[in-house]
Amino acid sequence: MLDEPTASLDPETGDFVRTFLEDYKKEKKISVLLASHNMEEVKRLCGSVLMMKDGLIVDRGTPEELITKYGRRDLEEVFLEIARK
């Protein structure tokens, strides 16, 4: 379980951590529970996403499914639409 694992890291170190997590997941054949507001990181690391608001799950799907469903360019736009409703 990881909560904002790359928050406040410089871009190079953040990329190192994300690459490590990708490789570790593949090598160990595990799942990781990731909480993050960084939607590019979520898209890179997560095959399944739960969108929450006020502590409630309001939508779920793959990053691509959510982008398509909301008709947005990226996952950050989806996040903002959900957060502003």
Sequence ranges of the domains in the chain? 1-36, 47-85
Question: In the prediction, which pLDDT does 85 show?
Answer: 87
pLDDT digits (tens, 9 = 90+) for 9-68: 999 999 999 999 999 999 999 999 999 999 999 999 999 999 999 999 999 999 999 999
Return the SS3 of 31.
coil
Question: In the prediction, which pLDDT does 28 show?
Answer: 97
Please, are residues 49 and 61 in contact by the beta-carbon 8 Å criterion? yes
Question: In the prediction, which pLDDT does 38 show?
Answer: 95
Return the SS3 of 14.
helix
pTM: 0.87
